[in-house]
Amino acid sequence: MKNAAGWFCFVLLLGALGGFSAGRMDVSAQTLDNKSSRYLAGVMTYGQSTDAFMLFDTQTNRLVAYTLGGNRRLELLAVREVSWDMKMVSWGKQEPTVQEVRDAYEKAEKERLEKVEKHDKK
Per-residue pLDDT reduced to its tens digit, 34-61: 566 788 888 888 777 777 889 999 889 9
| DSSP per-residue letters across 24-49 | -EEEEEEES-TTT--EEEEEEEETTT
Could you tell me what percent of the chain has a pLDDT over 70? 67
| pLDDT number for residue 23 | 42
Domain boundaries, the chain: 2-88, 90-122
24 — pLDDT class (breaks 50, 70, 90): very low
Q: What is the pTM of this model?
A: 0.54
